[in-house]
């Protein structure tokens, strides 16, 4: 049950790492991202596709670039991650509760 969540978090981490690279180095191509992150080309390509579907990046002839939506997403990201962390904390089963 928790394994799927771990895989999703790992994938989200990869997507955000790819997005960060686009923000910091735009335009940037798949080969450079793959070389710098160590992710295989197909995983970088998948992350780019997901980010493009979310309108966070768009392709250009020189590589991926950010969109108008990117900065808004980044501004909201920390709050959304904090909310998820709070939810996860609330889901913990306390050792004291198990002893009862």
DSSP state of 28: B
The pLDDT assigned to 92 comes to 86
Closest CA to 20 of 70, 69, 54, 68: 70
pLDDT values of the chain reduced to their tens digit, one per residue, 100 residues = 889 999 999 999 999 999 999 999 999 999 999 999 999 999 999 999 999 999 999 999 999 999 999 999 999 999 999 999 999 888 888 755 555 5
Q: Which residue has the tokens 């966070």?
A: 56
Domains of the chain, each with CATH number or no CATH: 1-91 (1.10.10.10)
Beta strands in 10-83 (DSSP E): 57-60, 63-66
* Helices (runs of H) and strands (runs of E) counted in the chain: 5, 2
What does the buried/exposed string (b/e) look like for 11-21 if buried means 16 or more CB atoms within 10 Å of the residue's CB? Answer: eeebbbebbeb
Question: Do the bridges between strand 63-66 and strand 57-60 make them parallel or antiparallel, or are there none, so unpaired?
Answer: antiparallel
């Amino acid at each position: 049950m928790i394994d799927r969540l771990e895989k999703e978090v790992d994938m989200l981490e990869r997507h955000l790492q790819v997005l960060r690279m686009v923000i910091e180095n735009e335009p940037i191509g798949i080969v450079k991202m793959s070389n710098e992150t160590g992710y295989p080309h197909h995983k970088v390509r998948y992350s780019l596709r997901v980010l493009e579907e979310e309108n966070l990046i768009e392709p250009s002839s020189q590589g991926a670039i950010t969109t108008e939506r990117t900065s808004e997403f980044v501004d909201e990201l920390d709050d959304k991650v904090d909310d998820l962390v709070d939810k996860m904390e609330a889901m913990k089963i306390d050792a004291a509760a198990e002893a009862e």
